[in-house]
Structure formats: structure tokens, C-alpha cells
Amino acid sequence: MRFSVTTWNINSVRLRIELVAKLLKSARPDVLCLQETKCPDDAFPLKRLKQLGYEHIAINGQKGYHGVAIASKLPFDSSDVRTFCGKVDSRHISVAFGEKAGLGAPLVLHNFYVPAGGDIPDPVANPKFEHKLSFLDEMRDCDPLHPRNGERHILVGDLNVAPFEHDVWSHKQLLNVVSHTPIECEKLLAVRNSGDWIDIARQRISESEKVYTWWSYRAADWTVGNRGRRLDHIWASQALGDKIADFKILRDARSWERPSDHVPVTATFDL
């Protein structure tokens, strides 16, 4: 059974619902994970997604900020929301697929929106940066993010850290810029290592090759200089290591009309 999952920071699902529709009509992933939906649950565009064939939807939203959602063509058995740092700020949702989806063994999918961290990379001077570091520490220590004994888990989302040298356009110039500071990279890699996760992008693409999923709105033309960062990730538990069939970054989506500053990232598994 082929199983594909796409992650995308949509930067307002209601504003960009037709871009979501464009993606779903063309790529047809089995599951779409969205971040930064900026939408309370009762205003989420459920009807439009169901018209597109994504009838099974789990949402964790709030007005104007943050928010995550999972839309699936396949039924899931359950959903769950976790809070981090004592804040109810809609940064996580997970679903479990099983027999209803035609799977012989269960599969758990986590969708995260890690705090961006503000502009000043100092946890004392900048509470947003301190929140981000604490959030990553809690992810590292979160037991459900430590798959064991052959458990099949996938973790996706806007993790807001570009951990490797070639995950940013200039390692040297961005060492003191939030998203690529050494302490953030160290903490994100600690999350990955604590769960023995496979970073699919870097399993499929050499660490010597530049890979980006985000380009700033601040550039008049994002293609000039190609100043991107790899902030959007798909990780798989070791039990899925030999099941990874494909990985794609839809770079062209950054040129769509009124785009998100992030682009969709998709992984496909042979389950």
C-alpha cells in the first residue's frame, strides 16, 4: 500500500484555501498536514476540503495565530492534542491510522508547528526565543515522540529550525540569525536523536547539497540569490526506514499567486 503525506505551513488556511485545493487536485497526497492555519476550529474550511475528497479532518486552531490541522482521504482511528510549555497555543495534533485505513499495523502521525522564536537569539532578552528553546526541550523529552519496538511513527511540520550547514543559503551569515543558531540546531537534533528519527530529506539528499523549503517575503524576488532555509521537515521512525519510497519539495509553489512563504513537502511510503 502506498501512503503519502504532505506537510505545508499555509500561513492562513482561509486566505489560501484555493492554493490548498490546487495542491490537492494535482498532487493528491493521502494526508495533508497544515501549520499556521490561523483559524479557530469553528471557522475551518471543512466543507471545501471534504469536497476535494479529504473527509477525515482533525484540527487544533485558534483565532489569528498558530494552528495545525490534518486532512486525510483515509479514516483515522483517533486523534490527540498535546500542549507544550504550559501554553494552549495550538502547535500540535496527531492522528493514529489502523484497520479503518486498511493498515495491517498501526501508524501514528504527528504534526507540529514549533515557535518561530522572534528576532533576537537571546533567551534572556527575548521571551519568544526562550519559549522556542523550552518547546524543543519538551519535544526531546516527550515519551510519545520516542517510538519503540517497531512502532511506526511519522513526525512532520514547520519545525522552524534549519539544522545543517546547507539547510540555509549562507551558514556563516546566518549563525546568529534565529532558525540557524547553534543552540537551536543542537536542540532540534537532540529531539531527532532522542526518538532515533530518520530525517527523510537528508536520508535522500546529501548533506553537501543545499535544500530549502522557505523563502522570506522580504525579498522582492525570492528567486534572486535563492536565499532559502529548510524549516519544514518529515521524519520517520526506524521501523519505516526501509519503507520510504519518495520525497519531494514543491518549490514551484513559492511562485503561486499570493503564496505562503513555505512550500509543500511530501514523503511517500510503501506500507
Number of folded domains in the chain?
1
Rounded to an integer, what distance in angstroms lies between the CA atom of residue 27 and that of residue 54? Answer: 13
Q: What is the mean pLDDT of residues 22-39?
A: 98
Q: What is the DSSP letter of 14?
A: T
Rounded to an integer, what distance in angstroms lies between the CA atom of residue 134 and that of residue 102? Answer: 38
Domain that holds residue 100: 2-270
Percent of the chain with pLDDT over 70: 100
pLDDT for position 65: 95
pTM: 0.97
CB 216 within 8 A of CB 235: no
Q: Which of 15, 16, 2, 35 is nearest to 213 (CA)?
A: 35
Q: Model confidence over 165-222: pLDDT tens digits? A: 999 999 999 999 999 999 999 999 999 999 999 999 999 999 999 999 999 999 889 9
- Three cell numbers, residue 88: 494552549
How many residues in the chain?
271
Please determine, for residue 265, whether its predicted confidence score (pLDDT) is greater than 90: yes
Percent of the chain with pLDDT over 90: 98
pLDDT for position 220: 82
Q: At 180, which CATH number?
A: 3.60.10.10
Q: What is the mean pLDDT of residues 81-89?
A: 96
CA distances from 88 to 7, 59, 156 (A): 22, 14, 20
For 37-106, where are the E strands, in sequence order? Answer: 56-60, 68-72, 78-80, 92-97
Q: Model confidence over 238-261: pLDDT tens digits? A: 999 999 999 999 999 999 999 999
Q: Which of 36, 76, 26, 86 is nearest to 55 (CA)?
A: 76
